[in-house]
Structure 1
Amino acid sequence: MCNIASKFELLVLIVASLTSVPFAQTDSSAYFRFTLIDDTEIIAKVDSLTPDAFKIITASGMNLVIKKSQVKLIEELDSDLSRQKIFQTDPNDYRLFLSPTARSLPAGNVQFVVYEIFFPVVSVGITDYLMLSGGMSLIPGAEIDEQVRYLSAKVTPLKISNFQFSFNSTYFSSWDNNDFTTAFATATFFSGKFAFTTGLGFGYSQKDIFKSPVIILGAEIRMTDNSKIITENWLWDDEDLSIFSFGVRFFNQKIAGDLGFLFPRYNSNSSGFIPWLGFSYTF
């Protein structure tokens, strides 16, 4: 019980330090994975805490000091590292297949994404809490003024331990001036090889707000060090329309590729499936 209480106390103190809550110094035999804002990962024990830094000891015995402002995520690991699987970071974990998670691109990072071959997007991390994206469709045979243009912003005001919360909005402009905007509130919980995302969104066009909100339910399950299963599901309230999806993502440190299938349903009837392809490169 004392060991469990010690670990719990240390985890609370670390979370408190990241949210500027007063804390005291302590130690523990527990190992933690520190993910920095540039996605560097360090496995270490916490030797002591200061108001603005962690003094840690790595598994190899190296002593380091990390400023808390450089840490974006802390996860407690098994004290026996031989039983703990350490996974490669997904460079495109800011999105499921199409809809966003609550995670945000770190400040200064740039990402290029292509959906379904003809829909490219460029995203930039303005700060650790603000991400901007934009692009234009490249549909063959269509003139430039006939392509769809889109611009989005994501603000992530809440980042605590394994939970993040964000607001997202995307503006679409089409050739017939039938502009369309979506707005979402999204929450993501992640721990080890599992992550769960839920969101609530509304759409509006030409000053008319759609009466039926959409609920997004998504999950990520790690299969191997460089792959995961993803499911992303859209459910409309008061509408007989839903879209379910299932697929896999393969990735290394900078590149990620998605292969999946979308299953639209209307009035409880299946409408077949739509193949889904996605690619991303993070600079």
Structure 2
Amino acid sequence: MAMRFLLLLGGLLVAGSAWAQQPALPGAPQVPASPPTPAPGSVKTAELPVTSVTGRHEVIGQIYSVETAGGTLFNGTLRAATEEELTFETKELGVVTVQRANLRQLSSLTPEQARRGFDYVGNGTRMFIAPTARNLHRGEGEIKVIDIFLTGIDYGITDNVSVGLLVPIIPVVGIPFVAVTPKVSVPLSDKFHVGAGVLYGFATGIDGGSGSGGVGYGLATYGSADTNLTFGLGYGIGSDGIGGSPVGVIGANVRVSRLFSLVNETYLASFDSNSGFGGLAGVRYASPRFSGSLGMLYFTSRNNGGIYPAYLDVAYRFGKVKLR
């Protein structure tokens, strides 16, 4: 009897196991299946990954300007981050996930830039020729051509120190020279920066003679990277020492649209009632990497004055900046 009971119980267990593996009848409750593992390289869904970041500086909820290694540009709100990837929510593209290894530049946008849809186009480090007290970020650089005859390059060694070089494009045309342009900048607040620097050049004359000289200056700049106002004072430096009469500069950048800014720099050679002034005023086109500026030279004095087309530059901003 016991043997028959055991055989019956074993048969019921086998039958139950076989029945559990059969498809459910129509209308019966379905057992949820585990989601399939996505194939490598497949497009990610709109679901955000769990945020788990260690030692990173990205801020969840911050709006960033993102540039990938392949040249894709977009603005998006950071929604999630891991050690391997960042996930952004965008208006046009939906949810976008980018591998950290594929990031070329990640720059946080100010509330005004985000509201107006502006791209990050640099840190507002110069007007036309004159610098501002804002500095290039570490790893950022700019190379520019001025009036076809000059080329210059600037590079951010740290967020507070940059160095530059200015040389003629064709050394045999005009007077061969080279100028160095180091600058130190200190942010006292988000919108107020002070700085100091030197533009010092070495030239060789046609007759074989040589000389050197330049200007040392101090600056104060108030405003953002897009819209700012700068005051500066400079003294000539030469073989005879430091000049006794300063030159003042006042200038501004005003970004009026996504791609265009108004630019001005005005120089004051003296500060009495009889002194004149002159400078450059014009417009700059700026995209995230390329920019071009067109300026008019103006001056006035007790006896005359005028406005002339005199300034043109094209510039390329380079560097790999992962976070600002």
- Would you call these one fold, judging by a TM-score over 0.5? yes
Residue deviations 1:156-180 (CA, integer Å, cap 9, x gap): 1235211211111111111142311
Unaligned runs of 5+ in 2: 1-60, 67-72, 79-87, 97-105, 319-324
1:202, 1:214 within 8 Å by CA — same for their partners in 2? yes
Which digits, 9 at most, give the CA deviation of each residue in 1:92-126, with x for residues without a partner? 72110000011111112222111111110111111
| Structure with greater Cα Rg | 2
* Separation (CA, whole Å) in 2 of partners of 1:186 and 1:116: 25
Alignment partner, residue 246 of structure 1: 281
What is the one-letter code of the residue matched to 1:108?
G
Equivalent pair of 1:74/1:162 in contact (CA under 8 Å):
no
Q: Which residue of 210, 229, 238 maps to 2:262?
A: 229
- Is residue 2:178 matched to residue 1:149? yes
Q: Which residue of 2 aligns with 1:270?
A: 305
CA–CA separation in structure 2 for the residues paired with 1:77 and 1:102: 21
CA contact (8 A) 2:123 2:135 kept: no
Find out whether 1:180 has 2:213 as its counterpart. Answer: yes
Q: How does 1:24-35 map to 2 (within 5 A)?
A: none
Q: Which residue of 2 aligns with 1:136?
A: 167
CA contact (8 A) 1:91 1:252 kept: no
Q: 1:112 aligns with which of 143, 152, 164?
A: 143
**Residue 184 of structure 2 contacts residue 197 of structure 2 at CA under 8 Å; is this kept in 1?**
yes
Alignment RMSD, CA only? 3.7
Shift of the alpha carbon at 1:209? 2.2
Contact conserved, 2:265 with 2:279, CA < 8 A, in 1?
yes
Identity, % of aligned pairs? 23
Structure-2 separation of matches of 1:127 and 1:180: 27
Q: How does 1:73-222 map to 2 (within 5 A)?
A: 75-76=110-111, 84-91=115-122, 93-139=124-170, 142=173, 146-175=175-204, 176-191=209-224, 194-222=227-255
Name the aligned partner's letter for residue 224 of structure 1.
S
Give the number of the structure whose residues are more often strand, by fraction.
Answer: 1
| Per-residue CA distance 1:11-38 (angstroms, 9 max, x = gap) | xxxxxxxxxxxxxxxxxxxx976789xx
Judging changes above 3 Å, is the alpha-carbon distance between structure 1 residues 212 and 194 closer, same or farther for their aligned structure 2 residues? same
Q: Is the 8 A contact 1:88 1:253 kept in 2?
A: yes
Moved more, 170-179 or 268-277: 268-277
- Does the 8 Å CA contact 2:216/2:235 hold for their aligned counterparts? yes
Unaligned residue ranges in structure 1 (runs of 5+):
1-30, 46-56, 63-70
Select the residue among 283, 288, 292 that pairs with 1:257: 292
Distance 2:220 2:76 in 1: 26
